[in-house]
Amino acid sequence: MSSLPKRIIKETQKLIQDPCDGIKAVPDENNARYFLVSIDGPKDSAYEGGIFDLELFLPEEYPMTAPKVRFTTKLYHPNIDRLGRICLDILKDKWSPALQIRTVLLSIQALLSAPNPEDPLDGEVASHWKQNEAEALAKGFGHSIVTTNRRFEVRS
């Protein structure tokens, strides 16, 4: 980690030493700019009970450019497409160097709590969400009960 910018080292240490509730982020042992992340489905959401894997990559230009993040667990959500890409303003035009990895992960967790079909990445899912929210929520819940191949281990 010594060849990394101090900011990335500090953010990584804080993520490991003081993790966010329901979020685990572990840097890859061969590339400390690449993180394996798991987010627990938020309580009282369609995704409660699920565990969702993501990958997060910090480009060379970080923090001047946003991290690259995508879900590797498939889920039914209007703001996440079939490739796991995420429609979230802070990952695009609302990114600021003042934001941190922790902020990004908490924002993604919040997106699971409050899908926004008015600003969709998956139009078909958004249309379903608008037409019959209860049915879409049930489908989202069904997709959250997924067995994933855990590619990493978080040690306490």
Q: Which of 15, 56, 87, 111 is the catalytic position?
A: 87
Does residue 77 fall inside a structural domain? yes
Angle formed by the axes of helices 6-17 and 101-113, to 10°? Answer: 50
Which pLDDT score, from 0 to 100, does residue 145 have?
45
Range of the domain at 127: 6-144
Q: What is the pLDDT along the chain (156 residues), one digit of tens a residue?
A: 558 999 999 999 999 999 999 999 999 999 999 999 999 999 988 888 889 999 999 999 999 999 999 999 988 899 999 999 999 999 999 999 999 999 999 999 999 999 988 888 888 888 888 888 777 777 765 554 443 444 444 433
Q: What's the total number of domains in the chain?
A: 1
Residue 156 inside a domain? The answer is no
Which pLDDT score, from 0 to 100, does residue 140 have?
A: 63
Looking at residue 143, what is its pLDDT?
Answer: 52
Let me know: does 83 contact 71? Beta carbons within 8 Å: no
Exposure letters 89-100 (e unless 16+ CB within 10 A, then b) = eebeeebeeebb
Q: Would residue 154 count as lying in a domain?
A: no
Q: What is the pLDDT of residue 141?
A: 55
H/E run at residue 137: helix 133-144
The answer to whether residues 23 and 38 touch, using CB atoms and an 8 Å cutoff, is yes
Please indicate whether residue 20 is annotated as part of the active site.
Answer: no
Strands 51-57 and 23-27: unpaired
For residue 45, tell me if it sits in a domain.
yes
DSSP state of 72: S
CATH code at position 41: 3.10.110.10
Q: Which residue has the tokens 């902020």?
A: 103
Residue 44 placed within a domain: yes
